[in-house]
Amino acid sequence: MRIGSVDVRPLGGAPGCLAMILVSVLLSVALTVVLNLLLR
């Protein structure tokens, strides 16, 4: 995938898998905190 002149490649193998899991967990936690603050 190219963005301008930068070639962005997804990480493969175990490190990429762990990184994607970590990112999704962090995003879900952050979204939960934001929603709790907004709907308090």
Q: What pLDDT, in 10s, does the model give residues 9-27?
A: 667 777 778 888 899 999 9
Please give the Cα distance from 35 to 26 (Å, whole number).
14
Domain positions in the chain are 11-38
In the chain, % helix, strand, coil (3-state, to 5) comes to 65, 10, 25
pTM, rounded to two decimals: 0.60
Please give the Cα distance from 7 to 9 (Å, whole number).
6
Please give the Cα distance from 40 to 24 (Å, whole number).
24
Q: What is the pLDDT of residue 2?
A: 66
Pairing of strands 2-3, 6-7: antiparallel
